Amino acid sequence: MSDMEDVLDRQERERRARMRRKAASKRAQRELDEQLGVAVALMEEENQSRRGSREGRASNVDRHRHSRDLGMLPEQKFTAVIRMLAYGSSTDQVDEIARMGKSTILESLVRFCDAVENLYTRDYLRRPTPRDLQRLLQKAESRGFPGMIGSIDCMHWQWKNCPSAWQGDYGNQKGHKSIILEAVAGFDTWVWHAFFGVAGSQNDLNVLGQSPVFNDILRGECPDITYQVNNTVYQNGYYLADGIYPRWTKFVKSIPHP
């Protein structure tokens, strides 16, 4: 009876911990979104100040053009940028919807991407530092996987609005239009590697052959990781993968019948 109570208590603690992590993740996401909006607004304000300093030297036509740009709403620019990123649209396809000039749309797109990169590059899509690697290894070992760097896998993202001219390149074996993504993530869904495969019918092996995730290994620059399993000492970390991956020492496949 006491064992069952311990199990129930542990499950309850884990459930509460998951709820706390989920709430913390939502708060962090809201803060990052707010920072993104502030960063874009600051860049726009700085650009407007530069335009204002040049306005005195510009012609009447330039003054009129600048005044129109200053009157554009952030919602207009965000709409144009998101449509271009989501649908792969060109400026010709969104300029009438957003009521903006092509040069302004392209400028807004560049600034939006720069703001996203400045905000998120510190935490995501970068190689783990020694401190990050140590944290990943400790957590994996506590869960029964000593020496595991992360989980690697590929997934197909269905592309509902794939342009007609590209549908032949992005069609998969099931007839759907999709883009394949390879990612490496830690226990807390911290994604430190993401790679979109090239156009065409791709699977995990095709993407692995083009992905830069193992470039350090090929150059002999992989981190020195030592761990012991069944009284055998190993020197290289590994990734947890599924059955499609090759039989390399860098991959440990999941056990179908533990």
Predicted local distance difference test score (pLDDT) of residue 47: 63
Tens-place pLDDT, residues 49-75? 665 655 554 444 444 444 344 467 888
Averaged over successive runs of 10 residues, the pLDDT of the chain (258 residues) comes to 65 80 75 66 64 51 43 81 82 80 87 87 79 86 86 84 80 78 83 78 79 80 79 85 85 75
Predicted local distance difference test score (pLDDT) of residue 26: 75
The pTM (predicted TM-score) of the whole model is 0.55
Closest CA to 237 of 138, 144, 132, 146: 146
Predicted local distance difference test score (pLDDT) of residue 150: 86
